[in-house]
Amino acid sequence: MIKEIYQNYLNKFYEMLELQDLTKNTIKNYTSFLLQYLTWINTNLSKYLEDISYDEIRLYILKKPFDKYEVPFMKTTRKLPTIYSKEIIFQFIDSFKNIRHKAYAAILYSSGIRVSELQHLRYEDFSRKNMMLRIKETKSRTDRYAILSKNALAILTKYWNSNRKPKGYLFPGYHYRNKSVSKNTINNVFNDRSKTFGVKITPVCRKNHKMF
């Protein structure tokens, strides 16, 4: 019902976002936020959009002018992840008994890619000859390349040889091979191994983590 009332505004808003070359997911989120605002207007105000005042917009954002619980809080300091020595990382990766799990860690710490990028790697994304892997459609929606170390490639080759179906996703889901492994699965693997290893090491890699 709300969509029908404000369809013209929503269409113009959608066109404006498309001109900015935003991703479909971003456009969907922004449109959802606008729809929430329009729903509030339709429920609480009897005005045309053009007649809504700044104070009324402020009322929508804060509900009450001085409600301390709804005024945006100052950003808190974020603690950077701990950077461990090469020796610790080598020991951590070697501690994995499962070759697939060891491949997770080896690729992440060799190339510095994100977990979401690791998820969607496919066999054809690797060049063993050039010791490189291709990351498709990154956040900037362009492909990029990352370098693999000899150690990581050796672990990856061992994983390849243990896999009966070397095609499609490099790390398919455990129940559905046509889907990629989930982030939760990868995170749980690291959490479980960290508990046994005795050092908290996460799969969240940064450029300065690339050391394997």
Nearest to residue 134, comparing CAs of 126, 142, 17? 126
Determine whether 90 is exposed, middle or buried from the number of CB atoms within 10 Å of its CB (0-12, 13-18, 19+).
Answer: middle
Confidence (pLDDT) at 102:
96
The share of the chain scoring above pLDDT 90, in percent, equals 24
C-alpha distance from residue 152 to each of 2, 132, 189 (Å): 54, 11, 18
Instruction: Output the DSSP codes for 62-95.
Output: HSSTT-TTTSPPPPPPPPPPP---HHHHHHHHHT
Distance CA 41, CA 10 (A): 14
Confidence (pLDDT) at 27:
86
Confidence (pLDDT) at 139:
56
User: Is 146:111 a contact under the CB 8 Å cutoff?
Assistant: yes
User: What is the per-residue pLDDT across 93-149, written as a single tens digit (0 to 9) for each?
Assistant: 999 999 999 999 999 998 889 898 999 999 899 888 889 999 886 555 678 888 889
By residue count, the chain amounts to 212
Mean pLDDT of 175-203: 88
Instruction: Output the DSSP codes for 138-195.
Output: -TTSS-EEEE--HHHHHHHHHHHHH-S--SSBSSB-SS-TTSBPPHHHHHHHHHHHHH
The structure's pTM equals 0.60
Please give the single-letter amino acid code of residue 73. Answer: F
